[in-house]
Amino acid sequence: MFLTEENMRDPIVSVSGVRGIVGEGFTDELVREYARAFAELTEYGTVLVARDARPSGEDIVRVLIDTLAELGCSVVNIGMVPTPTAVLNVKETHADGGIIVTASHNPIEYNGLKFVSSEGSFLDLSEMARLRGTVGKDTPRVKATGKQIRDTTALARHIKKIKSIPFVDSGALRKRNFKIAIDCVNGGASMAYPAMLESLGCICARLFCEPDGTFPRKPEPTAENLSLLSKFVVAARADIGFGVDPDGDRVSVVTEEGKALGEESTIVLVARYLLGKKKGPVVVNYSTTRAIDDVASDFGVCVERAQVGEANVVAKMKDVKAVLGGEGNGGVILPQVNQTRDAAVAMTLILEYMLESGKKMSELALKLPRYHIEKRKVGMRSSDFQKVAQSARRLQGNGELNKNDGIRIVWGDSWLHIRPSGTEPVIRIIAEAKTRQKAKLIANEAARLIAEL
């Protein structure tokens, strides 16, 4: 992974795309430069453009569309939709590529660009390097301005694809009429996901589903950020609560009792259901809970790990022909629907799990392997990571060291992962153990070592 920041306010470029603070590192000229580079990468073909609900998104989309059209690209604007909806539509409509204006879980002052290939997956590390190498170079002028098309059918394609999953019984779901409390953090999924759930016969109680990008809670769907949803689930007498992030690719679950299970539980719940239907390898990143290994072992299948970044996970999934992939941040990837994290897919499969088992979510949660995970982040330039890595090795002891993605140390049933973020100018620290006390001890000791730098 490569980052380009010279200081903490410069844009961050990685396998997750380009992100920065709007008006500072992330400017209209930066958008134009990347639009020109992407136009060349797609050979001036058809480019799909979408955005999340951030207030800055509309102006950025305008700059993108104008730049792409001037270069002769046909531009299909599908408007404000969840990121997985946009990714799916690139492939389903046979576009040559796509650009999504989103900064996902970053704070509201950020925005970004995520680039999608014609295959319906985010550009991998080598493709991003190629794109970045083209930025700033002269692009040829064309004689004709490209067409600009508005497409309002993107969500319908996404819903149709989800309903086509062989082990999704949409008829039975409609008869069951689950009541869902859903918190979309006023992001890009605020209209789409309640509509999707209602198409499956669910009754939706909406919390923070006004798509104005104001983020009334912290954007990431972690347990501590879903306290209001937990109360809302109980007040609404809902069967389950779903909390998503601003661009709708990650989701976290709250039980009918109001207990937030945490974002790590999402991929584990889906695996518990899916592997009973279709066995095969599972791919997750190095920061994902080892509970997924326990579940996979129950079904006699293997877990492969990849570097953090869904493009890295997807690449590994293709290599091993995985039936399921994801990340411990609430991201689930079902390759027969989408080659990206898809919260709509995750929600649907979890509802199917409840329907088929006849159990409440609180009962299903009791079956999950019990681990405790602690996450920290320390503001630091990625260029300083080598110093961090050298210092962190002091913690290794008799643990097994892995340097495939930052530093990961495994001691029996506990582990520590330290890596530079690809979306923020921070170093991420993740520790997991069988007890909360031990996980906190590992994470705090790692944070202390980094703080000394």
Which residues are tagged catalytic?
104
Residue with tokens 């799909």: 48
Close Cβ partners of 77 (under 8 Å, ≥ 6 residues apart): 49, 50, 61, 65, 148, 149, 150, 151
287 three-class SS:
coil
Q: Give the HSE-up count for residue 134: Cα atoms under 13 Å, Cβ half-sphere.
A: 20
Cα angle 254, 191, 240; round to 5: 15
Cα angle 173, 351, 362; round to 5: 130
What is the DSSP code (8-state) at residue 289?
A: -
Nearest to 123 by CA among 293, 310, 301, 360: 310
Nearest to 36 by CA among 4, 18, 63: 63
Nearest to 429 by CA among 385, 370, 397, 399: 385
How far is Cα 364 from Cα 357, in angstroms, rounded to an integer? 9
In angstroms, the Cα distances linking 163 to 86, 172, 267, 337 are: 17, 12, 20, 10
Instruction: Find out whether 218 and 263 touch, Cβ atoms under 8 Å.
Output: no
Q: Tell me the two tokens of residue 26.
A: 């992330």
Q: Which amino acid is at 236?
A: A
Q: How many other CB atoms sit within 10 Å of the CB of residue 373? A: 21
How far is Cα 216 from Cα 190, in angstroms, rounded to an integer? 13
Q: Tell me the two tokens of residue 44.
A: 């001036």
How far is Cα 37 from Cα 75, in angstroms, rounded to an integer? 15
Cα angle 296, 286, 320; round to 5: 55
In angstroms, the Cα distances linking 5 to 381, 384, 421, 427 are: 7, 11, 12, 13
What is the DSSP code (8-state) at residue 111?
A: E
Residue with tokens 């603070």: 21
Nearest to 105 by CA among 218, 183, 22: 218
